[in-house]
Amino acid sequence: MKFKLLLSLSAAIALSGCDDTEVKEVTKEVVVEKPVTVIEKVEVPVIVEVPKGAANDVQLGTRAQFLVNQLEDGELKTKLQACQDGPFYKTDFSIGHRGAPMQYPEHTKESYVAAARMGAGILECDVTFTKDKELVCRHSQCDLHTTTNILAIPELAAKCSQPFTPADESTGAPASAQCCTSDITLAEFRQLKGKMDGANPNAKTVAEYLQGTANWRTDLYASQGTLLTHKESIELFKSLNVKMTPELKSANVPMPYEGMTQAMYAQKMIDEYKALDVAPEDVFAQSFNLEDVKYWISNEAQFGAQAVYLDDRYDIAGFNPNNPDTWQPTMAELKNEGVQIIAPPLWMLVTLDNDSNIVPSEYAKAAKAAGLDIITWTLERSGPLAAGGGWYYQSISDAVTNDSDALVLLDVLATQVGVIGVFSDWPATTSFYASCMNMTPSI
Protein backbone atom coordinates (compact mmCIF):
# COMPACT_ATOMS: atom_id res chain seq x y z
CA MET A 1 0.00 0.00 0.00
CA LYS A 2 1.06 3.60 -0.66
CA PHE A 3 0.18 6.55 1.58
CA LYS A 4 0.90 10.24 1.08
CA LEU A 5 2.39 11.68 4.23
CA LEU A 6 2.10 15.42 4.82
CA LEU A 7 4.58 16.98 7.20
CA SER A 8 2.39 18.66 9.78
CA LEU A 9 2.51 22.39 10.26
CA SER A 10 3.30 21.98 13.94
CA ALA A 11 6.31 19.84 13.18
CA ALA A 12 7.45 22.36 10.59
CA ILE A 13 7.20 25.18 13.09
CA ALA A 14 9.21 23.15 15.58
CA LEU A 15 11.94 22.61 13.06
CA SER A 16 11.96 26.25 12.04
CA GLY A 17 13.71 27.07 15.28
CA CYS A 18 16.92 25.61 13.88
CA ASP A 19 19.46 28.07 12.41
CA ASP A 20 19.66 28.33 8.62
CA THR A 21 16.83 25.92 8.15
CA GLU A 22 14.33 26.55 5.41
CA VAL A 23 11.06 24.78 5.85
CA LYS A 24 8.82 23.95 2.97
CA GLU A 25 5.53 22.05 2.92
CA VAL A 26 6.03 18.99 0.73
CA THR A 27 4.35 15.78 -0.07
CA LYS A 28 6.18 12.52 -0.46
CA GLU A 29 5.12 9.03 -1.36
CA VAL A 30 6.17 6.46 1.25
CA VAL A 31 5.76 2.69 0.89
CA VAL A 32 4.46 1.02 4.06
CA GLU A 33 4.24 -2.76 4.33
CA LYS A 34 0.93 -4.13 5.63
CA PRO A 35 1.39 -4.65 9.36
CA VAL A 36 1.05 -8.14 10.90
CA THR A 37 -0.54 -8.42 14.35
CA VAL A 38 0.78 -11.20 16.63
CA ILE A 39 -1.29 -12.09 19.72
CA GLU A 40 0.41 -14.09 22.43
CA LYS A 41 -1.49 -15.80 25.28
CA VAL A 42 -0.01 -14.82 28.61
CA GLU A 43 -0.92 -16.85 31.69
CA VAL A 44 -1.77 -14.50 34.55
CA PRO A 45 -1.59 -16.19 37.96
CA VAL A 46 -4.60 -15.89 40.23
CA ILE A 47 -3.52 -14.27 43.47
CA VAL A 48 -5.39 -15.03 46.67
CA GLU A 49 -4.38 -13.25 49.82
CA VAL A 50 -3.44 -15.84 52.39
CA PRO A 51 -2.06 -14.85 55.78
CA LYS A 52 1.61 -15.51 56.27
CA GLY A 53 2.17 -19.11 57.35
CA ALA A 54 -1.21 -20.35 56.10
CA ALA A 55 0.12 -21.81 52.86
CA ASN A 56 2.98 -23.54 54.68
CA ASP A 57 4.17 -25.45 51.62
CA VAL A 58 0.81 -27.17 51.02
CA GLN A 59 1.09 -30.19 48.72
CA LEU A 60 -2.13 -31.97 47.76
CA GLY A 61 -1.03 -34.56 45.24
CA THR A 62 -3.41 -35.92 42.62
CA ARG A 63 -6.16 -37.75 44.51
CA ALA A 64 -8.55 -34.80 44.69
CA GLN A 65 -8.30 -34.26 40.95
CA PHE A 66 -8.89 -37.98 40.41
CA LEU A 67 -12.13 -37.67 42.38
CA VAL A 68 -13.19 -34.51 40.55
CA ASN A 69 -12.75 -36.20 37.18
CA GLN A 70 -15.22 -38.93 38.23
CA LEU A 71 -17.99 -36.46 39.10
CA GLU A 72 -21.02 -36.22 36.87
CA ASP A 73 -21.05 -33.10 34.71
CA GLY A 74 -22.63 -30.23 36.58
CA GLU A 75 -22.04 -27.12 38.63
CA LEU A 76 -19.92 -28.81 41.31
CA LYS A 77 -17.61 -30.49 38.81
CA THR A 78 -17.21 -27.29 36.80
CA LYS A 79 -16.35 -25.28 39.89
CA LEU A 80 -13.83 -27.80 41.21
CA GLN A 81 -12.21 -28.27 37.81
CA ALA A 82 -11.72 -24.52 37.55
CA CYS A 83 -9.40 -24.47 40.57
CA GLN A 84 -7.32 -27.58 39.97
CA ASP A 85 -4.19 -25.45 39.87
CA GLY A 86 -4.91 -23.72 43.17
CA PRO A 87 -3.82 -21.74 45.02
CA PHE A 88 -4.17 -24.22 47.86
CA TYR A 89 -3.68 -23.32 51.48
CA LYS A 90 -4.09 -24.52 55.05
CA THR A 91 -7.58 -24.30 56.53
CA ASP A 92 -9.27 -25.31 59.78
CA PHE A 93 -12.08 -26.88 57.73
CA SER A 94 -9.59 -29.66 57.00
CA ILE A 95 -8.91 -31.81 60.09
CA GLY A 96 -6.34 -34.60 60.02
CA HIS A 97 -8.05 -37.65 61.56
CA ARG A 98 -5.21 -39.40 63.41
CA GLY A 99 -2.98 -37.69 60.86
CA ALA A 100 -3.30 -39.13 57.35
CA PRO A 101 -3.97 -42.83 58.04
CA MET A 102 -5.17 -43.73 54.55
CA GLN A 103 -1.48 -44.28 53.80
CA TYR A 104 0.53 -43.53 56.97
CA PRO A 105 0.41 -45.36 60.31
CA GLU A 106 -2.09 -43.50 62.47
CA HIS A 107 -0.99 -41.26 65.34
CA THR A 108 2.63 -41.27 64.25
CA LYS A 109 4.94 -38.36 63.54
CA GLU A 110 5.04 -39.34 59.87
CA SER A 111 1.24 -39.36 59.62
CA TYR A 112 0.92 -35.97 61.30
CA VAL A 113 3.58 -34.33 59.14
CA ALA A 114 1.88 -35.67 56.01
CA ALA A 115 -1.49 -34.29 57.12
CA ALA A 116 -0.06 -30.86 57.86
CA ARG A 117 1.65 -30.79 54.47
CA MET A 118 -1.75 -31.57 52.93
CA GLY A 119 -3.20 -28.39 54.37
CA ALA A 120 -4.89 -29.70 57.52
CA GLY A 121 -5.25 -26.74 59.87
CA ILE A 122 -6.09 -29.00 62.83
CA LEU A 123 -4.54 -32.34 63.83
CA GLU A 124 -5.86 -34.98 66.23
CA CYS A 125 -4.13 -36.85 69.01
CA ASP A 126 -6.37 -39.45 70.63
CA VAL A 127 -5.23 -39.43 74.25
CA THR A 128 -4.89 -42.46 76.48
CA PHE A 129 -2.45 -43.46 79.25
CA THR A 130 0.28 -45.97 80.03
CA LYS A 131 0.72 -48.18 83.07
CA ASP A 132 2.56 -45.33 84.79
CA LYS A 133 -0.22 -42.86 83.87
CA GLU A 134 1.67 -40.99 81.16
CA LEU A 135 -0.45 -39.63 78.31
CA VAL A 136 0.22 -40.94 74.80
CA CYS A 137 -1.40 -40.75 71.35
CA ARG A 138 -3.33 -43.91 70.48
CA HIS A 139 -6.83 -44.33 69.08
CA SER A 140 -7.73 -46.79 71.81
CA GLN A 141 -6.10 -47.81 75.05
CA CYS A 142 -6.13 -51.38 73.78
CA ASP A 143 -5.13 -51.27 70.12
CA LEU A 144 -1.37 -51.82 70.31
CA HIS A 145 -1.71 -55.33 68.86
CA THR A 146 -3.14 -53.94 65.60
CA THR A 147 -1.41 -50.55 65.34
CA THR A 148 2.13 -51.33 66.52
CA ASN A 149 4.76 -54.07 66.40
CA ILE A 150 4.38 -54.99 70.08
CA LEU A 151 3.65 -58.67 69.34
CA ALA A 152 6.97 -58.91 67.48
CA ILE A 153 8.88 -57.89 70.63
CA PRO A 154 8.68 -60.98 72.88
CA GLU A 155 9.46 -59.25 76.19
CA LEU A 156 6.68 -56.69 75.58
CA ALA A 157 4.23 -59.16 74.01
CA ALA A 158 4.48 -61.13 77.25
CA LYS A 159 2.93 -58.17 79.07
CA CYS A 160 -0.17 -57.96 76.86
CA SER A 161 -3.57 -58.40 78.51
CA GLN A 162 -4.27 -61.28 76.13
CA PRO A 163 -1.41 -63.06 74.38
CA PHE A 164 -1.52 -63.88 70.68
CA THR A 165 -3.71 -66.87 69.93
CA PRO A 166 -3.60 -68.33 66.41
CA ALA A 167 -6.70 -68.98 64.33
CA ASP A 168 -8.33 -72.35 64.98
CA GLU A 169 -9.74 -73.92 61.83
CA SER A 170 -11.55 -76.64 63.76
CA THR A 171 -13.67 -74.18 65.76
CA GLY A 172 -13.60 -71.24 63.36
CA ALA A 173 -12.14 -68.99 66.06
CA PRO A 174 -10.12 -66.13 64.54
CA ALA A 175 -6.62 -65.21 65.58
CA SER A 176 -6.66 -62.77 68.48
CA ALA A 177 -4.65 -60.70 70.95
CA GLN A 178 -5.12 -57.64 73.14
CA CYS A 179 -2.32 -55.29 74.06
CA CYS A 180 -3.02 -52.05 75.92
CA THR A 181 -1.02 -48.95 76.70
CA SER A 182 -1.93 -49.63 80.34
CA ASP A 183 -0.06 -52.94 80.07
CA ILE A 184 3.29 -51.19 79.64
CA THR A 185 5.23 -48.21 80.98
CA LEU A 186 6.09 -45.13 78.98
CA ALA A 187 9.69 -46.35 78.65
CA GLU A 188 8.40 -49.58 77.13
CA PHE A 189 5.95 -47.70 74.91
CA ARG A 190 8.89 -45.82 73.42
CA GLN A 191 10.32 -49.11 72.11
CA LEU A 192 7.37 -49.60 69.76
CA LYS A 193 6.93 -48.66 66.11
CA GLY A 194 3.60 -47.78 64.58
CA LYS A 195 2.18 -49.80 61.71
CA MET A 196 -0.91 -49.59 59.53
CA ASP A 197 -3.93 -50.55 61.62
CA GLY A 198 -5.10 -54.07 60.91
CA ALA A 199 -4.73 -57.76 61.74
CA ASN A 200 -5.12 -61.00 59.83
CA PRO A 201 -7.89 -63.05 61.49
CA ASN A 202 -6.68 -66.22 59.74
CA ALA A 203 -3.13 -65.93 61.06
CA LYS A 204 -1.31 -68.92 62.45
CA THR A 205 1.75 -66.89 63.47
CA VAL A 206 2.47 -63.43 64.85
CA ALA A 207 4.12 -62.45 61.58
CA GLU A 208 0.96 -63.37 59.68
CA TYR A 209 -1.24 -61.62 62.23
CA LEU A 210 0.62 -58.34 61.79
CA GLN A 211 0.00 -58.45 58.00
CA GLY A 212 -3.56 -57.14 58.10
CA THR A 213 -3.50 -53.88 56.14
CA ALA A 214 -6.64 -53.35 54.04
CA ASN A 215 -5.89 -53.86 50.34
CA TRP A 216 -6.96 -50.31 49.46
CA ARG A 217 -4.40 -48.83 51.86
CA THR A 218 -0.65 -49.32 51.65
CA ASP A 219 2.35 -50.39 53.70
CA LEU A 220 4.74 -48.29 51.62
CA TYR A 221 5.09 -45.70 54.39
CA ALA A 222 4.88 -48.03 57.37
CA SER A 223 8.58 -48.69 57.84
CA GLN A 224 9.09 -45.95 60.44
CA GLY A 225 5.97 -45.30 62.52
CA THR A 226 7.33 -42.96 65.19
CA LEU A 227 5.00 -43.07 68.18
CA LEU A 228 4.43 -39.95 70.27
CA THR A 229 3.46 -39.00 73.77
CA HIS A 230 0.73 -36.39 74.11
CA LYS A 231 3.32 -33.76 75.05
CA GLU A 232 5.43 -34.66 72.02
CA SER A 233 2.39 -34.29 69.77
CA ILE A 234 1.79 -30.79 71.15
CA GLU A 235 5.39 -29.81 70.45
CA LEU A 236 5.19 -31.26 66.94
CA PHE A 237 1.91 -29.51 66.18
CA LYS A 238 3.35 -26.21 67.37
CA SER A 239 6.30 -26.66 65.02
CA LEU A 240 3.89 -27.42 62.16
CA ASN A 241 1.85 -24.30 62.99
CA VAL A 242 -1.45 -26.15 63.29
CA LYS A 243 -4.25 -26.19 65.83
CA MET A 244 -4.92 -29.26 67.96
CA THR A 245 -7.89 -31.48 68.73
CA PRO A 246 -7.10 -34.04 71.44
CA GLU A 247 -9.71 -36.68 72.15
CA LEU A 248 -9.84 -38.01 75.70
CA LYS A 249 -10.37 -41.74 75.14
CA SER A 250 -12.43 -43.91 77.42
CA ALA A 251 -10.26 -46.06 79.67
CA ASN A 252 -10.31 -49.83 79.24
CA VAL A 253 -9.25 -50.22 82.85
CA PRO A 254 -11.58 -49.47 85.77
CA MET A 255 -11.54 -45.85 86.88
CA PRO A 256 -10.23 -44.52 89.19
CA TYR A 257 -6.97 -46.06 88.00
CA GLU A 258 -4.32 -46.18 90.73
CA GLY A 259 -5.75 -43.04 92.30
CA MET A 260 -6.45 -41.22 89.01
CA THR A 261 -10.14 -40.35 88.66
CA GLN A 262 -11.85 -39.51 85.38
CA ALA A 263 -11.83 -35.82 86.31
CA MET A 264 -8.10 -35.96 87.08
CA TYR A 265 -7.54 -37.65 83.71
CA ALA A 266 -9.52 -34.92 81.92
CA GLN A 267 -7.61 -32.23 83.80
CA LYS A 268 -4.21 -33.82 83.14
CA MET A 269 -4.81 -33.56 79.40
CA ILE A 270 -5.60 -29.83 79.59
CA ASP A 271 -2.69 -29.22 81.96
CA GLU A 272 -0.23 -30.41 79.33
CA TYR A 273 -1.42 -27.70 76.92
CA LYS A 274 -1.14 -25.08 79.63
CA ALA A 275 2.37 -26.26 80.57
CA LEU A 276 3.47 -25.87 76.94
CA ASP A 277 1.88 -22.40 76.59
CA VAL A 278 -0.71 -23.36 73.98
CA ALA A 279 -3.45 -20.76 73.56
CA PRO A 280 -6.90 -22.17 74.48
CA GLU A 281 -8.31 -20.98 71.15
CA ASP A 282 -5.89 -23.34 69.39
CA VAL A 283 -7.25 -26.40 71.19
CA PHE A 284 -10.50 -28.27 70.49
CA ALA A 285 -10.69 -30.83 73.31
CA GLN A 286 -13.04 -33.71 72.41
CA SER A 287 -14.79 -36.56 74.16
CA PHE A 288 -17.61 -39.03 73.58
CA ASN A 289 -18.20 -38.73 77.32
CA LEU A 290 -20.47 -35.70 77.80
CA GLU A 291 -19.33 -35.48 81.43
CA ASP A 292 -15.77 -34.77 80.26
CA VAL A 293 -17.02 -31.89 78.13
CA LYS A 294 -19.05 -30.54 81.03
CA TYR A 295 -15.99 -30.81 83.27
CA TRP A 296 -13.93 -28.66 80.90
CA ILE A 297 -16.77 -26.14 80.60
CA SER A 298 -17.02 -25.84 84.38
CA ASN A 299 -13.35 -26.06 85.35
CA GLU A 300 -11.38 -24.83 82.34
CA ALA A 301 -13.69 -22.23 80.84
CA GLN A 302 -11.27 -21.02 78.15
CA PHE A 303 -10.65 -24.54 76.87
CA GLY A 304 -14.25 -25.55 77.52
CA ALA A 305 -15.53 -22.74 75.30
CA GLN A 306 -14.70 -24.83 72.24
CA ALA A 307 -14.77 -28.32 73.68
CA VAL A 308 -16.33 -30.81 71.27
CA TYR A 309 -19.03 -33.30 72.21
CA LEU A 310 -18.49 -36.38 70.04
CA ASP A 311 -22.05 -37.62 69.68
CA ASP A 312 -22.41 -41.40 69.84
CA ARG A 313 -26.10 -41.46 70.64
CA TYR A 314 -26.45 -43.62 67.52
CA ASP A 315 -25.63 -46.52 69.86
CA ILE A 316 -28.90 -45.98 71.70
CA ALA A 317 -31.63 -48.42 70.60
CA GLY A 318 -34.20 -46.73 68.39
CA PHE A 319 -32.05 -43.71 67.56
CA ASN A 320 -33.18 -42.00 64.35
CA PRO A 321 -31.45 -38.81 63.11
CA ASN A 322 -34.73 -37.75 61.52
CA ASN A 323 -36.84 -38.19 64.65
CA PRO A 324 -36.00 -35.72 67.45
CA ASP A 325 -37.99 -37.80 69.94
CA THR A 326 -35.20 -40.40 69.83
CA TRP A 327 -32.41 -38.06 70.98
CA GLN A 328 -31.79 -37.22 74.60
CA PRO A 329 -30.68 -34.71 75.68
CA THR A 330 -32.15 -32.36 73.10
CA MET A 331 -29.99 -29.95 71.12
CA ALA A 332 -31.36 -27.03 73.13
CA GLU A 333 -30.50 -28.80 76.39
CA LEU A 334 -26.92 -29.40 75.21
CA LYS A 335 -26.62 -25.73 74.33
CA ASN A 336 -27.99 -24.69 77.73
CA GLU A 337 -25.35 -26.88 79.42
CA GLY A 338 -22.63 -24.87 77.68
CA VAL A 339 -21.84 -27.16 74.76
CA GLN A 340 -20.86 -25.08 71.72
CA ILE A 341 -19.68 -27.73 69.24
CA ILE A 342 -21.22 -31.10 68.46
CA ALA A 343 -19.56 -33.77 66.32
CA PRO A 344 -21.62 -36.65 64.93
CA PRO A 345 -20.54 -39.08 62.18
CA LEU A 346 -21.20 -38.14 58.56
CA TRP A 347 -24.36 -40.18 58.11
CA MET A 348 -26.25 -38.54 60.99
CA LEU A 349 -26.16 -35.17 59.24
CA VAL A 350 -27.68 -36.19 55.90
CA THR A 351 -30.54 -38.08 54.33
CA LEU A 352 -32.07 -38.51 50.85
CA ASP A 353 -35.06 -36.57 49.53
CA ASN A 354 -37.71 -38.02 47.22
CA ASP A 355 -35.43 -37.47 44.22
CA SER A 356 -32.48 -39.24 45.89
CA ASN A 357 -30.62 -35.98 46.43
CA ILE A 358 -28.44 -35.70 49.55
CA VAL A 359 -29.98 -33.15 51.93
CA PRO A 360 -29.58 -32.17 55.61
CA SER A 361 -31.19 -34.46 58.20
CA GLU A 362 -33.52 -33.26 60.95
CA TYR A 363 -30.60 -33.78 63.32
CA ALA A 364 -28.49 -31.29 61.34
CA LYS A 365 -31.33 -28.76 61.20
CA ALA A 366 -31.98 -29.04 64.94
CA ALA A 367 -28.31 -28.59 65.83
CA LYS A 368 -28.07 -25.42 63.76
CA ALA A 369 -31.38 -24.12 65.10
CA ALA A 370 -30.03 -24.54 68.64
CA GLY A 371 -26.95 -22.50 67.77
CA LEU A 372 -24.50 -25.41 67.87
CA ASP A 373 -21.49 -25.49 65.58
CA ILE A 374 -20.95 -28.84 63.85
CA ILE A 375 -17.83 -30.87 63.08
CA THR A 376 -18.16 -34.30 61.46
CA TRP A 377 -16.17 -37.50 60.86
CA THR A 378 -14.70 -39.28 58.88
CA LEU A 379 -14.23 -38.68 55.15
CA GLU A 380 -12.00 -41.04 53.14
CA ARG A 381 -12.18 -43.79 55.78
CA SER A 382 -14.55 -46.13 53.98
CA GLY A 383 -12.38 -47.36 51.14
CA PRO A 384 -13.87 -47.64 47.63
CA LEU A 385 -17.48 -46.38 47.61
CA ALA A 386 -18.87 -48.46 44.74
CA ALA A 387 -20.74 -50.71 47.20
CA GLY A 388 -22.47 -47.83 49.00
CA GLY A 389 -19.81 -46.65 51.41
CA GLY A 390 -20.59 -48.81 54.43
CA TRP A 391 -21.16 -47.43 57.95
CA TYR A 392 -20.21 -43.80 57.30
CA TYR A 393 -22.66 -43.50 54.40
CA GLN A 394 -25.49 -45.66 55.72
CA SER A 395 -28.17 -42.95 55.56
CA ILE A 396 -27.46 -42.19 51.89
CA SER A 397 -26.08 -45.51 50.60
CA ASP A 398 -28.65 -45.71 47.80
CA ALA A 399 -27.10 -42.60 46.23
CA VAL A 400 -23.47 -43.63 46.68
CA THR A 401 -22.02 -45.40 43.64
CA ASN A 402 -18.42 -44.22 43.19
CA ASP A 403 -15.55 -42.55 45.00
CA SER A 404 -16.44 -39.06 43.77
CA ASP A 405 -19.61 -39.15 45.87
CA ALA A 406 -17.34 -38.21 48.78
CA LEU A 407 -17.08 -34.77 47.15
CA VAL A 408 -20.84 -34.57 46.63
CA LEU A 409 -21.38 -35.32 50.32
CA LEU A 410 -18.65 -32.86 51.32
CA ASP A 411 -20.34 -30.11 49.31
CA VAL A 412 -23.70 -30.73 51.00
CA LEU A 413 -22.06 -30.73 54.43
CA ALA A 414 -20.34 -27.42 53.70
CA THR A 415 -23.04 -25.53 51.81
CA GLN A 416 -26.30 -26.90 53.22
CA VAL A 417 -25.51 -28.32 56.66
CA GLY A 418 -22.90 -25.65 57.41
CA VAL A 419 -20.27 -27.75 59.19
CA ILE A 420 -17.19 -25.85 60.37
CA GLY A 421 -14.79 -28.77 59.97
CA VAL A 422 -14.47 -32.29 58.57
CA PHE A 423 -12.18 -35.02 59.83
CA SER A 424 -10.53 -36.90 56.98
CA ASP A 425 -8.14 -39.84 56.67
CA TRP A 426 -6.66 -38.03 53.65
CA PRO A 427 -6.77 -34.28 54.40
CA ALA A 428 -5.70 -33.32 50.88
CA THR A 429 -9.29 -33.89 49.76
CA THR A 430 -10.86 -31.57 52.32
CA SER A 431 -8.08 -29.01 51.85
CA PHE A 432 -8.65 -29.04 48.08
CA TYR A 433 -12.38 -28.45 48.51
CA ALA A 434 -11.90 -25.70 51.11
CA SER A 435 -9.36 -23.86 48.96
CA CYS A 436 -11.56 -24.13 45.89
CA MET A 437 -14.48 -22.66 47.83
CA ASN A 438 -12.36 -19.82 49.20
CA MET A 439 -12.88 -20.83 52.83
CA THR A 440 -11.04 -18.87 55.49
CA PRO A 441 -7.34 -19.78 55.70
CA SER A 442 -5.95 -21.06 58.98
CA ILE A 443 -3.85 -18.60 60.93
User: What does the pLDDT read at residue 107?
Assistant: 98
- The tally of CA atoms less than 13 A away on the side-chain side of residue 69 is 6
**If pLDDT is split at 50, 70 and 90, which confidence band does 399 have?**
very high
pTM for the full predicted model: 0.88
Three-state SS sequence of 3-15:
EEEECCHHHHHHH
- Domain end position, chosen among 210, 227, 244: 227
Q: What is the structure's pLDDT at 285? A: 99
- C-alpha distances in Å from residue 30, one per residue of 34, 36, 110, 174, 280: 13, 18, 74, 98, 80
Count of the separate structural domains present in the chain: 2
233 and 351 in one domain? yes
DSSP labels for 398-437? GG--STTHHHHHHHHIIIII--SEEEESSHHHHHHHHHHT
Average pLDDT over residues 320-334: 97
Task: Please indicate, yes or no, whether residues 247 and 338 belong to a single structural domain of this protein.
Answer: yes
Domain that holds residue 399: 63-125+228-436
- In this predicted model, what pLDDT tens digit does every residue of 149-207 receive, in sequence order? 999 999 999 999 999 999 999 999 999 999 999 999 999 999 999 999 999 999 999 99
Q: Is 308 helix (H, G, I), strand (E, B) or coil?
A: strand
- Length of the chain, please? 443
Ramachandran quadrant class, 294 (left: phi over 0; alpha: psi -120 to 50; beta: rest): alpha
Asked whether residue 221 falls in the same domain as residue 346, the answer is: no
Residues 199 and 68 in one domain: no
Give how far Cα 126 sits from Cα of 66, 144, 311, 399, Å. Answer: 30, 13, 16, 32
Q: Are residues 379 and 412 in the same domain?
A: yes
Higher-pLDDT residue of 113 and 9 is 113
Of 227, 250, 282, the last residue of a domain is 227
Kindly report, residue by residue over 261-297, the tens digit of the pLDDT.
Answer: 999 999 999 999 999 999 999 999 999 999 999 999 9
- 38, part of any domain: no
With respect to residue 40, please indicate whether it lies within any of the assigned structural domains.
no
Sign for the pseudo-dihedral over CA of 78, 84, 89, 94: positive
d(CA 296, CA 267) in angstroms, rounded, equals 8
Q: Which residue among 169, 195, 227 closes a domain?
A: 227
pLDDT, one tens digit per residue, over 295-326 is: 999 999 999 999 999 999 999 999 999 999 99
Same domain for 143 and 216, yes or no, is: yes
Closest CA to 175 of 139, 212, 216: 212
For the stretch 124-150, pLDDT in tens is 999 999 999 999 999 999 999 999 999
Q: What is the CATH number of the domain that holds 113?
A: 3.20.20.190
Helix residue ranges per DSSP H, 118-199: 144-147, 154-157, 186-189
Q: From the DSSP assignment, how many helices (H) and strands (E) are in the chain?
A: 16, 17
